[in-house]
Amino acid sequence: MTTQKVAIVTGAARGIGSAVAQRLAQDGMSVAVLDLNEDACRHTVDAITAAGGHAVAVGADVSDEDQVIAAVDRILERLGAPTVLVNNAGIIRDNLLFKMTVDDWDTVLGVHLRGAFLMSKFCQRHMVEAGWGRIVNLSSTSALGNRGQANYSAAKAGMQGFTKTLALELGRFGITANAIAPGFIATDMTRATAERIGVSFDDFIDAAAQETAVKLAGQPEDIANAVSFFAGEAARYVSGQVLYVAGGPVD
């Protein structure tokens, strides 16, 4: 009899994180749905339980060490030792460099990079003890540079270097670390971008689709499918990689 694996997905109240949490539950894992506001996680948890899966909602600020420690301890108590971690939590504070505040910079780097560091640090010990683990970090095509996103681009590029280092350090313990770099994905975050620049979301999606080789806009489920592979047994020989899920080649 195999023990049900426990996964943590950060930023899982909506969008990509919610789709990832639901997919991992479909894959047979118990899932901790973690986000800043625990109540906001209920929709994802309800969707998982309605489909016959097992999930709990957990509220925590991933950039706060004490909250991360408490969250991981709580998950350990309620679900068991986490051996799959998806670092998806993220925010945007877009602006051109000369308009960007120090707080804009620190907040974005804090959630993305500090958050991934803290979650990985306090989950890896359980993976080492189990002799098996999967860490999947969410990067972005913005890691290659994007006007008005100096903070976000730096954070997402940092996620790639962080991922490769984790792969090198943790591989001997049966732990893989990989990153997924989405292109345009239709989420509340991209809807907010459309609103900020004064474009209807439908037009924004259509324009983004035309920029891809496949002439399609990405959906959260497209990212969830990639996470499912990296989080499973089939990816045991894949580590330290960055997969661009962007509807075509990226430069």
Residues serving a catalytic function are 152
Cα separation, 87 vs 85, in Å, equals 6
Cα separation, 67 vs 170, in Å, equals 24
What residues contact 210, with CB distance under 8 A and at least 6 apart?
none
User: Are the CB atoms for 132 and 174 separated by under 8 Å?
Assistant: yes
β-strand 6-10 against 30-35: which pairing, if any? parallel
Cα separation, 173 vs 134, in Å, equals 11
